[in-house]
Structures are given as C-alpha cells and as structure tokens.
C-alpha cells in the first residue's frame, strides 16, 4: 500500500504531489483540503418517468427536502440518511445522486424526440436523467466500454423505468466513425482522475498519479474529438469530469478548439450555483481563451463533489 494511503482518524494523508498541485492551482489548502474530505449533503433527483414531483415531496416531507435552485427536480436533505436505502430509491421514484453530478445533464438540456449519445454512461446516473428529460421519447444511446459496469447501467435504467435507450459496449472513440453527424446532443462524462470525489470515497487515491493524469487526458482528447464528429451540425455536447486537474479539463477542451476552431464553448448560467470560470493557464501554458466559459465547482464553495462542466456547440 502506498504510504500516504494510511489513514488518520479515517481521513487519508493526501499524496504530497496532489497537495502541491492543488497549491499550484491557487487553492488555500487550509480551507480546500478539509472541505474536499468532508462528505457533502445528501441529494436526490425526482424521476419524473415514475413519479409526480409533488407526490414524492409529500412522501419524503419528513426529510425536509430543500430545492437546490438550478434544477427544480433536485433536492438536498439535512442529516446523513443514506438515500440509496430508501424504498423510493428502489422503486425508481427518486435517484440518489450528488448535486454536482446532476449539473452536466441540466446543462445539456435534453429534449423529447431527440437522438442523444451518453458516451461513458455507467452506472447511469446521468443516462437516467437524460431519459427522463426526453420523457422516454426519441433515442438515447447509453454506451460504456467497461463490461463490468454494464450490469449497474442496465439495472439503473430498468429501475428508473427507462424505455427509450439502447445500451452499447464500445470504446467511445468509435462513435465519431460509426455515427458521424448523427446525434442532436452528446454527453461525455469522461473517465478522469476523480479528485473531486474524495469526499465520498478514497478509491480515487488508488489510481491517482501524474502518469494516470497524462494517460487519462490522452483518452479524453480522443473521446472529445469522437463526440464532436458524432454531433449533427447545430448540435450541442457537454464535456464533464469530477476532477480538478487542468490537463483533464481546460487542456481537453483547448485541444478540441485547436482542431476545430469553429466549435463554440458556450457560457453557462445556473441559478443559485456558485461556480468559478475555467483556468486561463497551467504551468506556463496558456489555454484557448474560450475555456473561461467552462464552469468549475469547488468543495469549499459548493456543497457537492468537485466538478468541471463545458457546454460546446457545433455550428449549423
Ligand atoms: C465518470 S464515469 C461515468 C459516470 C456516468 N456518466 C454516470 O453518471 O453514472 C466514466 C465512465 O467512463 C467509462 N470509460 C472509460 N474509458 C472509456 C472509453 N474509452 N469509452 C467509453 N467509456 C469509457 C468507464 O467505464 C466509466 O464507467
């Protein structure tokens, strides 16, 4: 076991290189690290494929759910009750989902009767949210390369009453070729170094390293290019990660803009959400100025996992 994986009072010592990078990103470690390791409030999304909003709010009123603001189907509760253990979750009336994880699909804004690709979909938190926004119409392709993660994806689609979705198990890189200019919208919730999830689980520490960031950013560049190819002219895609690493966020989006200068990184405004703009540079390398429209969520400012979200459109 790596030495920094030993825990003190249940909290890990973060790798020195990770802490040095956070400092380089401009974080005050005395605020940032405790917030990063503190579990955020529990949140749930109402699944409108199976339940009425008011009916769910009535049956869960004992939890005193508070709306998050930017999405009227997402609620925060007080206390540490595990929402994933509730009957309402097993019945698919709600989906226990971190508040930050609900943002990429809110930003994607799926519509009924569209054709949409969720390129890295397992275990399906966002695919089920997309299908609900589409009201089970049109076509959702929920893809994931990992055979071991497909059962959780199909299980969550079933539990949520999703009927408009086909599941595929391909490298996302393939879609640009096999389905060029096919989709109205694409979500790439990319495989990433998951630094923003440390408040819920220390699993990310098992794979985290400088070389992992490099390897992941190479895959992300291929996925974002494939997604852009698979988008119809006039289509919209969202690129998201749950990590802070600039190489995996602004670096990936800048790479797309280098290859396709006509792609537009749109601004994102969500009511009541405290966000920061994308970084303008990292280690002396300037990013494309358009990446300032990326939103970043930090755990010392937002009660949820660390996240990064970009909305990108393809001209007609
Ligand atoms: C952040 S997780 C996705 C979470 C999912 N969107 C959700 O909301 O439940 C990233 C996923 O990318 C998948 N993945 C990794 N490399 C991939 C690739 N080349 N093509 C497609 N999926 C990939 C992983 O198996 C993993 O399930």
- Ligand 1: distance of its center to the CA of 234 in Å? 25
Written as six digits, the tokens of 271 are: 């009511």
Distance CA 240, CA 308 (A): 6
- Ligand 1: distance of its center to the CA of 122 in Å? 6
> Angle CA(179)–CA(226)–CA(170) in degrees, nearest 5?
65
> Catalytic: which of 63, 83, 227, 242?
242
Give the model's pLDDT for residue 8: 43
Cβ of 121 below 6 Å from ligand 1: yes
> Angle CA(313)–CA(279)–CA(20) in degrees, nearest 5?
140
Give the model's pLDDT for residue 3: 45
Written as six digits, the tokens of 228 are: 């852009």
Cβ of 153 below 6 Å from ligand 1: no
8 A C-beta contact, residue 312 and residue 256: yes
Q: How is residue 41 annotated by DSSP?
A: P
Q: Which helix H or strand E contains 256, and what residues bound it?
A: helix 250-259
For residues 31-49, b (16+ Cβ closer than 10 Å) or e, as one string? ebbebbeeebbbbbbbbbb
- Ligand 1: distance of its center to the CA of 149 in Å? 9
Q: Residue 189 CA: which ligand 1 atom is closest?
A: 6
CATH of domain 3-313: 3.40.50.150
Q: Which helix H or strand E contains 62, and what residues bound it?
A: none
Give the model's pLDDT for residue 199: 85
- Ligand 1: distance of its center to the CA of 172 in Å? 9
Cβ of 144 below 6 Å from ligand 1: yes
Catalytic site residue 242? Answer: yes
The ranges assigned to domains in the chain are 3-313
Give the model's pLDDT for residue 10: 54
8 A C-beta contact, residue 176 and residue 229: yes
Give the model's pLDDT for residue 122: 98
Written as six digits, the tokens of 273 are: 């959400």
Cβ of 312 below 6 Å from ligand 1: no
Give the model's pLDDT for residue 11: 63
Give the model's pLDDT for residue 201: 85
**Quick one: which of 50, 91, 90, 41 has its CA closest to 73?**
50
The stretches in the chain having pLDDT less than 70 are: 1-12
Give the model's pLDDT for residue 9: 47
Question: DSSP characters for 66-84?
Answer: EE-SS-TTEEE-SS---GG
Written as six digits, the tokens of 197 are: 């999830």
Tracing tokens 């405004």 back to the chain, one arrives at 269
SS3 314: coil
Backbone angles phi, psi at 242, to 5 degrees: -110, 45
8 A C-beta contact, residue 169 and residue 150: yes
| Residues recorded for the chain | 316
Q: How is residue 14 annotated by DSSP?
A: P
SS3 101: helix
């Amino acid at each position: 076991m790596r030495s920094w994986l030993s825990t003190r009072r249940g909290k890990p010592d973060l790798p020195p290189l990770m802490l040095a990078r956070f400092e380089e990103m401009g974080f005050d470690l005395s605020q940032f690290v405790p917030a990063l390791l503190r579990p955020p409030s529990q949140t749930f999304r109402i699944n409108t494929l199976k339940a009425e909003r008011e009916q769910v709010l009535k049956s869960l009123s004992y939890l005193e759910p508070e709306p998050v603001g930017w999405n009227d189907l997402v609620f925060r509760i007080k206390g540490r009750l595990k929402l994933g253990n509730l009957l309402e979750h097993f019945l698919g009336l709600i989906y226990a989902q971190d508040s930050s994880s609900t943002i990429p699909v809110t930003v994607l804004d799926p519509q009924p009767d569209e054709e949409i690709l969720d390129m890295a979909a397992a275990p399906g938190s966002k695919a089920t949210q997309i299908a609900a926004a589409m009201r089970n119409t049109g076509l959702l392709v929920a893809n994931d390369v990992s055979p071991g993660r497909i059962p959780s994806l199909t299980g969550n689609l079933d539990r949520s009453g999703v009927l408009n979705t086909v599941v595929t198990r391909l490298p996302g890189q393939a879609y640009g070729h096999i389905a060029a200019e096919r989709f109205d919208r694409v979500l790439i919730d990319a495989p990433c170094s998951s630094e923003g999830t440390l408040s819920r689980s220390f699993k990310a520490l098992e794979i985290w390293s400088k070389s992992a960031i490099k390897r992941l950013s190479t895959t992300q560049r291929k996925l974002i290019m494939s997604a852009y190819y698979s988008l119809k002219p006039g289509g919209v895609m969202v690129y998201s990660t749950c990590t802070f690493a600039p190489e995996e966020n602004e670096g990936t989006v800048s790479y797309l803009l280098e290859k396709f200068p006509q792609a537009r990184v749109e601004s994102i405004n969500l009511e009541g959400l405290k966000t920061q703009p994308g970084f303008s540079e990292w280690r002396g390398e300037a990013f494309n100025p358009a990446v300032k429209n990326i939103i970043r969520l930090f755990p010392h400012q937002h009660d949820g996992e660390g996240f990064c979200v970009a909305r990108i459109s393809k001209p007609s």
